[in-house]
Structure 1
Amino acid sequence: MPKICILTAAPDYFEDLGPPRLTYQRLLGDDISFRHWTDPGDLAEYDLVLPLLVWGYQRDCPRWFALLDQLEQQQIKIANPVSVLRWNSDKSYLLALEKAGVAVVPTMISAALTTNDITDAAQKFCTDQLVIKPPISGGADGTYRLQKDQPLPEDIAGKTMLIQPFQPAIAQEGEYSLFYFGGTFSHAILKRPADGDFRVQEFLGGSETGADCPEGAQGLAVSACQAAEQILGIETLLYTRVDMLRDPEGNFRLMELELIEPSLFFQHAADEGALFASAISVYLT
């Protein structure tokens, strides 16, 4: 039997890792190992390392990128590969995908955020409502919805930040996530924020339901995956979550391409994750 290790969040991380651990044991076998990404030890004994639960890596970027360097130097077999993880860690990849022709949520980057940047973005995007987020982030850390005349929160002023126009569809319809394993579509969900919020994370009051793919959703997801694979020079991503919503004109736009530690919501998959397990098996052959 192949030896598989899943990297997890640090011991003091606030979310409960128990349920996803049980899910991965169900899918991949009770003998899989779990190690904290912050101190994983020697991983050379494993046939495959999966960073599926490295939640919170954005809170210690130097350690995260040092780990990726170490995995690369030791030629540890990890999926998605280190080159993918490094690229996907910084959300400026959205600009690379946009350049490749993928319809993304319009995005600007400020190297040191000022109120002038907010004014410029509001003018460029023709909106008074903006979303500001760090380029390396997760779980909505450091993410704000601002009116153009609001003062900058102290924790983001002067920092490198992404600026995007607020998308009203997040509250009106929600955010779709499509899941692909070994390049094959598995399932989709629709995530909605709590009333008055724009963040869809469950611990912030968001919720999700299983969903059929609306027209145009899979087309965008496939184009985003293919563009990423071409940019990175790889054949097929092992696992992918594609987050998208509609713009004011009703067209789907990519919010994020999650290739590191996405929640995969197997409870909404018709096969309860069997395709994922099969993709892992094929990857190991």
Structure 2
Amino acid sequence: MTDHHQPTRGRPRVALVTCAALPDLDPDDRLALDPLAARGVAAEIAVWDDPAVDWSGFDLVVLRSPWDYALRRDEFVAWARTVPALVNPADVVAWNTDKRYLAELSAAGVPTVPTIWVAPGERWAPPPSGEHVLKPAVSAGSQDTGRYDLADPEHRALASAHVRRLGDAGRVTMVQPYLDAVDTAGETALLFLAGPDGLAFSHAIRKGPMLTGPDLGEAALYKEERIDFRTATDEQLTVAEKVLSAVPGGVDRLLYARVDLIPGPDGSPVLVELELTEPSLFVGHADGAPDRLAEAILAHLPRRP
């Protein structure tokens, strides 16, 4: 890990924020280190809950892989509010780390996966059939997420147990239909990075199916993903722009955004998640993307005399 107290001889200091389980960053994020150095930026890796870090000493603090926040969201949001020059900003973090933002986006006319929300203590009866995905409203890396065939009595029992387990922990459960297109077309993630004229489309990737069955409570920081480069369609880009236009406070403040889409039952793309807090940016899957990430960080550095 880079020593966050090392002298930088007047170069702008940028913190790349991670968690204790990834003290050297996710390998994909490390691809931006050389481009940042080439631009005269002193990039330093820092763990978000490390009490030794002086966040006020950085010119910019960039959230990258603090993926252990899900069970400590209140602490994480409170921390974000104390950090000067944080991107994406703390109010965006507070809004985006609870997936109930999907209800707001749906009300604003964004096509989203239909979602039922089950609050702690609320009774929930599984639908009689169909494949469904259950996950907590606050999660990262597909943690505590399962796929259930509710025509199967065993899966129905496991789904009910999943909801109870989350509810007993004080967590809201999301219940969504499993979209079959995940198994064929896959999920498309559209990546946007800040540029001289604001947030702009950078690249897209395809994620293959990840959920193979019920969640059995295994602890893992994130699930492994199968990633390939993908060319975004005009229809996907149009939906992504509609999603971003509904972000509270506007997108000019954002350093990055990731819009995850899946074809709905009629083939039109629908939003699965909007990642504004700590998304994998998959810069290793597109030519020039590490440099575009470095340029995005440079664009957000405060102007110097």
TM-score tier after normalising by the smaller chain length? 0.7 to 0.9
Counterpart among 156, 162, 166 of residue 163 in structure 2:
156
Q: Is the 8 A contact 1:142 1:156 kept in 2?
A: no
Deviation at 1:172, TM superposition (A): 1.6
Query: Which residue of structure 2 lines up, in the alignment, with residue 142 of structure 1?
Result: 144
Superposed displacement of residue 42, structure 1: 1.8
Given the two structures, how large is their TM-score scaled by the length of structure 1?
Answer: 0.85
SS at match of 2:243: helix
Residue 118 of structure 1: aligned partner = 126
Superposition deviation, residue 204 in structure 1: 4.0
Partner amino acid, structure 1, of 2:46: R
Out of 213-222 and 57-66, give the one that drifted further: 57-66
Q: How many residues in Structure 1 have an aligned counterpart in Structure 2?
A: 270
Greater relative contact order, per chain length (Cα 8 Å cut-off, separation 6+):
2
Which residue of structure 2 lines up, in the alignment, with residue 93 of structure 1? 101
Distance 2:268 2:249 in 1: 26
1:26: how far off?
1.7
Instruction: Name the CA distance, whole Å, in 2 between partners of 1:19 and 1:249.
Output: 37
Matches of 2:82 and 2:210 in 1, distance apart?
40
In structure 2, the CA distance between the partners of 1:114 and 1:21, relative to structure 1 (3 Å rule), is same
Query: 1:116-265 residue pairs with structure 2 within 5 A?
Result: 116-119=124-127, 128-148=130-150, 150-151=156-157, 152=159, 154-157=161-164, 158=167, 159-182=171-194, 183-193=199-209, 196=212, 204-228=223-247, 231-233=248-250, 235-265=252-282
Q: Any gaps of 5 or more consecutive residues in structure 2?
A: 1-10
How far the C-alpha of 1:28 sits from its partner, in A, is: 1.8
What is the Cα deviation at residue 216 of structure 1?
Answer: 0.8
Task: Compute the displacement of 1:3 (Å).
Answer: 1.1
RMSD (CA atoms):
2.6
Structure 1 44/15 Cα, relative in aligned 2: closer, same or farther at 3 Å?
Answer: closer
Q: Structure 1 49/202 Cα, relative in aligned 2: closer, same or farther at 3 Å?
A: closer
Residues 1:203 and 1:192: Cα distance change in structure 2 (over 3 Å): same
Given the two structures, how large is their TM-score scaled by the length of structure 2? 0.80
Q: How does 1:17-166 map to 2 (within 5 A)?
A: 17=25, 19-20=27-28, 22-29=30-37, 31-40=42-51, 41-71=53-83, 76-112=84-120, 116-119=124-127, 128-148=130-150, 150-151=156-157, 152=159, 154-157=161-164, 158=167, 159-166=171-178
1:24-67 CA-partner distances (Å, limit 9, x unpaired): 31232273111111225321111100111212211322321221
Identity of aligned residues (%): 30
Compared CA separation, residues 45 and 87, structure 1 to 2 (3 A):
same
What's the offset of the Cα at 1:18? 5.7
